[in-house]
Structures are given as structure tokens and as C-alpha cells.
Chains A and B, each alone.
Chain A
């Protein structure tokens, strides 16, 4: 079974430039998460999708961040414009969400460096 796929793996951009990250979850997983992980810290949730609906996005900085999950499968996270403080690893995870919390499977992440 293929795992969560993310691209690109690495991205270096100048501040004020736009950037986009792509995630393909595990087949059949209805829930998709985007996390940001700063160096030396645990992942912090940005947004959670159930199918194509964003159900938890309170931690997403909506002035510059946007996300979509068209058709309830692949998802894209965008930052426009990027700031120096956005440098981090952006992790995508997926799970099959039923009646109780279940394990999430993480992708390899996209390491973003903003210069």
C-alpha cells in the first residue's frame, strides 16, 4: 500500500513569493491534515479536512495561507506571500475517521526555506 505522498520535498523561495505544496493521501482515507513543524518542536495542526470539507481551520493564518481539497482526495496548501517565519517542514497526514480517533499516517513533508 502506498503511503502519503507529498511534493516537493524541498523548496527554497525568497520572501514575498508564493509557494504551494501538494499532498496525495492514502487511498480510501477520508480525513486529511496539514501540519507545520518547526525545528525542535512537534507538529502543529493548520487545517483538517473530512472529505472535501474543511472542518478545523482555526490555526490557519488565513491572511496568507489557503488550502483546498477538491474531490476529497488530493490537497494543496498555498502560502502567498511567504514570510521568513514560514520556514518549517509542512507535513500532510491522512486517516480513516470513524466514530473514534484513529492513527494518522504522515507524509515525508516539504521542507520550506524562506530567504
Chain B
């Protein structure tokens, strides 16, 4: 089955810095990669996703890149703000199973 590794487990940055979270996956059939943000005690919320037919996708201060050959994808947050502080989860899905495999999460702390 699919295995998703996520790093780092904790990331501490100063407000205004960039943050990068990296994930690797094992199943070459995976073709959909969503990222979720989960604030303390709240539901995971989809913030951006990417499909295997593109290499990069941007939405304002967040972007995701995908390297299919190396089987890794990354979340990039620029100009971080304290409200970006949360746990971020990556996931990988293959079109055939519809079952996402989640990474273990990255706790992002943005210091004012």
C-alpha cells in the first residue's frame, strides 16, 4: 500500500519568513496530492491540492510542487503570518482507490 513520509515534524519560523514542508510517497499510481491545515481542536481544511499532470500550483502565499520522478511533493508558504500556525498534513491518493494516505503532520509555529 501507499506510504507517505512527511518532514519536518515541527517547524518554527519568524513572521515574514518562508516555510517549506516536504512529503514523499511510495505508490507511483498516486495522482492526487492534497494539503490540509488543522488548527488546534478544529477540523482539517483543504488549503491546496495538485494532480500528477502538473508540476506546480500557486494560490496567493501558498504553493505546492510535485516531482513525480522522485515521488515527492512540497508545500511552500511565503511571508508567513502568526495565523499560519497550525498542523499541516499532506496526503496522497490514487484514482483507483480514493483512499488518502496521510503524512504524520508538521506543526508550524510562526513567531510574531
Contact = CB atoms under 8 A, between A and B. Distances in A.
A41 B46 contact: no
B102 interface: yes
Interface stretch (B54-62, B63-71, B72-80, B88-96): B88-96
Contacts, number: 55
A100 B105 contact: no
A99 B49 CA distance: 17
Contacts of B95: 99-101
Given A48-B98, A56-B99, A100-B32, A42 B43 contact: no
A101 B43 contact: no
- Interface size class, chain B: 20 to 34
A99 B32 CA distance: 12
A67 to B, nearest CB: 15
Interface of A: 4, 31, 40-45, 48, 56, 91, 97, 99-109
